[in-house]
Amino acid sequence: MNKIKELIQKEYDRQHNTLGMIPSENYTSKEVREAVGSVFMHKYSEGYPAARYYEGNEVIDELESFVRDMAVKVMTKHDSKEVQNNWHANVQVLSGSAANLAVYTSILEPGDKILSMYLPDGGHLSHGWSYSSKKDRDDSLESEGIAYKGGKKKVNFTSKVFDIVQYKTDPSTFVFDYDEIEKLAIQEKPKLIITGGTAYPRDIDYKRMREIADKVGAYYHADVAHEAGLIAGGAVPSPFKYADFVTFTTHKTLRGPKGAVAMCKREFAKKLDRAVFPGLQGGPFNHTIAGVGQALIEADTKEFQDYANQVVKNAQILAEELVNAGLNVITGGTDKHLVLVEVLSAGVSGADFASKLAEIGIIANKNTVPYEKGSPVDPSGLRLGTPILTTRGMKEDAIKEVAEIIVEVFNMLKNNEDQYGDLRLKVDGLCQKYKLPN
């Protein structure tokens, strides 16, 4: 067999024979995969519809225009007509980080100040992460209250170009204290405020963040990479009434291909498009745009709305079961698709927990928690999500079975036991009962 075909089959088998619980992953329809593997990959199309640098783009123009319109329609469908009519979508951005960078470069100059969420509390690298090694660290300079001023090691490109200040969660509740964020914004006077992250289990008050941005004269950017499909399905609040920019990846809860979309109010459309091309990219990936379009068609259905709401129900049941079993669920629950669990206080390593779950066929990921005491390599927490389990057709009863297995692994690790064979069989049984779609 051809080596690549062999590896494709191996990965297909791995995905079908394990329970994917990484919140940032999902499983697409066959139609999405066919679109991504289509002849659209053969065409160069630098520029935008009706303004290309190559001939032969009449079909590409039709494709991109359709997908742009679908992005606006699907993502703002739960907002008023006034809000819907005020948004523009760029579907050429190649990734979530690239989408974010396009927003920054469209409205900011090098050295401008950005206020974003602290990475260890659940923020994202692309929002401007930096840190100092222990020998270089001066905590009195880097952190004050919920504020983090950054370190000497500029890890992400954003932190190398812009002045980044980050806000933390409240140390007692691990949720945002918006009054404290407002005080920080007034003190720092950022030009851009960003919300969104990778491991914040609660809804964000977009209205309150808009008010804070207005108070200090800042632009407001909502990065909803994780929540995009839930917003499209009406399962969580929409930011479109309040934000100036909204970015998201398309491969998480939206159940599309690896890709992204950058959206903005119409007044920023030319600036955003120019930031993407020619500012940051050359020719777009038309096959990915086709896959995103197919995912948006699927998201514009009652079936997807039911799916999105079930993802949230499943996550809330998972959190409830883990809390009842005595695990330390951060914030005590969740409003969306992910659950964050702190385990180090029980004597369990987050890395060990993720590794042992993988051995029995549950694929989760180690993760930092607010006010992390470990390290990114061996953090205190575990991050769990329900998008793929819900794609498999699982509902509340099946989620309780999964939670029971996770609790058993946790207790075995805590008690230094090593008898996991039966749990692998239970996972195999669930994989066979709840199959991924073809």
Contacts of 432 (CB under 8 A, 6+ apart): none
Residue 124 annotated as binding? Answer: yes
Distance CA 321, CA 156 (A): 37
DSSP state, residue 330: G
DSSP letter at 385 equals E
Cβ atoms of 163 and 149 within 8 Å: the answer is: no
- Angle between the N-to-C axes of helices 396-414 and 350-359, in degrees from 0 to 180, rounded to the nearest 10: 120
Q: Nearest 5°: phi and psi at 195?
A: -120, 160
Residues 6+ apart with CB under 8 A from 178: 205, 208, 209, 212
244 and 264 in contact (C-beta within 8 Å)?
Answer: yes
Is residue 127 a known part of a binding site?
Answer: no
Q: CA angle 83-88-89, nearest 5°? A: 125
Instruction: Give Cα 70 to chain centroid, integer Å.
Output: 20
Give the whole-angstrom CA distance, residue 113 versus residue 107.
12
Does residue 123 have a known ligand-binding role?
Answer: yes
Q: Which of 245, 294, 320 is nearest to 90 (CA)?
A: 245
Residue type, 316: Q
Which residue in 272, 387, 285, 267 sits closest to 41, CA to CA? Answer: 285
* Long-range Cβ contacts of 212-216 (<8 Å, 24+ apart): 212/178, 212/181, 212/182, 212/185, 213/185, 215/182, 215/185, 215/186, 216/185, 216/186, 216/189, 216/190
Closest CA to 240 of 123, 71, 98, 23: 71
Q: How close are the terminal C-alpha atoms of the chain, in Å?
A: 22
For the chain, the helix, strand and coil percentages under 3-state DSSP, each to the nearest 5? 45, 15, 40
For residue 318, give both structure tokens. 């998972």
**Annotated binding-site residue? 96:** no
**431 CB contacts (<8 Å, ≥6 apart)?**
16, 17, 18, 19, 361
Binding-site members for (6S)-5,6,7,8-tetrahydrofolate are: 119, 123-125
Binding-site members are: 119, 123-125
